[in-house]
Chains A and B, each alone.
Chain A
Amino acid sequence: MLSYTFIAIVAAVLTWLELPRMRREKEYREIWGFAAFMLLAIGISVAQTMLKEIPTPLVFITAIFKPFSDLLSAVGLIQ
Chain B
Amino acid sequence: MNRRKKILAMILLQTVIALLLSSCWNRRELNELAIAVGAGVDWVDNQYRLSVQVAIPGQVTSKRGASTQAPATLYTAEGDTIFEAARRMTQISPRKIYFSHLRIFLMDEAMAREGVAKVLDLLARDHEFRPDFYLAITKGTTAEEALKIMTPMETIPANKLFNSLQISDKSWSSSMVVTLDELINGITSTGKHPVLTGLMVTGDKKIGEDKKNVEDIYTPSQLQYSGLAVFKFDKLIGWLNEKDSRGYRLIRGDVKSSVGYVSCRNKGKVVLETLRTDTKLKGRLVDSRPELDIKVSLEGNIGSVECSGLDLTEPSTIRQLEVDMEEKVTKILEDVIDKVQTEHKVDIFGFGEAFHRSHPKTWKRIEQEWDDRYFTSLVTHVSVDYKIRGTGTTNDSFLNDLKE
Contacts and interface: CB of A to CB of B under 8 A. Distances in A.
B379 interface: no
B265 interface: no
A13 B12 CA distance: 12
Contacts of B4: 16-17, 20
Q: Main secondary structure on chain B at its contact with chain A?
A: helix
Instruction: Kindly state the interface size class of chain A when it binds its partner.
Output: under 10
B18 interface: no
Contacts of B8: 13, 17
Q: Main secondary structure on chain A at its contact with chain B?
A: helix
B24 interface: no
A27 to B, nearest CB: 13
A21 B4 CA distance: 10
Interface string A1-38: 00000000000010011001100000000000000000
B30 interface: no
Nearest to B5: A17
B4 to A, nearest CB: 6
B69 to A, nearest CB: 49
A16 B4 CA distance: 8
B36 to A, nearest CB: 38
A46 B274 CA distance: 73
B217 interface: no
A17 B3 CA distance: 10
B11 to A, nearest CB: 8
Contacts of B1: 20-21
Contacts of A20: 1, 4
A20 B4 CA distance: 10
A40 to B, nearest CB: 23
A21 B8 CA distance: 15
A6 B8 CA distance: 16
A25 B389 CA distance: 86
A34 to B, nearest CB: 15
7 contacts: A13-B8, A16-B4, A17-B4, A17-B8, A20-B1, A20-B4, A21-B1
Interface of B: 1, 4, 8
Interface of A: 13, 16-17, 20-21
The 7 closest A-B pairs by CB, nearest first: A21-B1, A17-B4, A17-B8, A16-B4, A20-B1, A20-B4, A13-B8
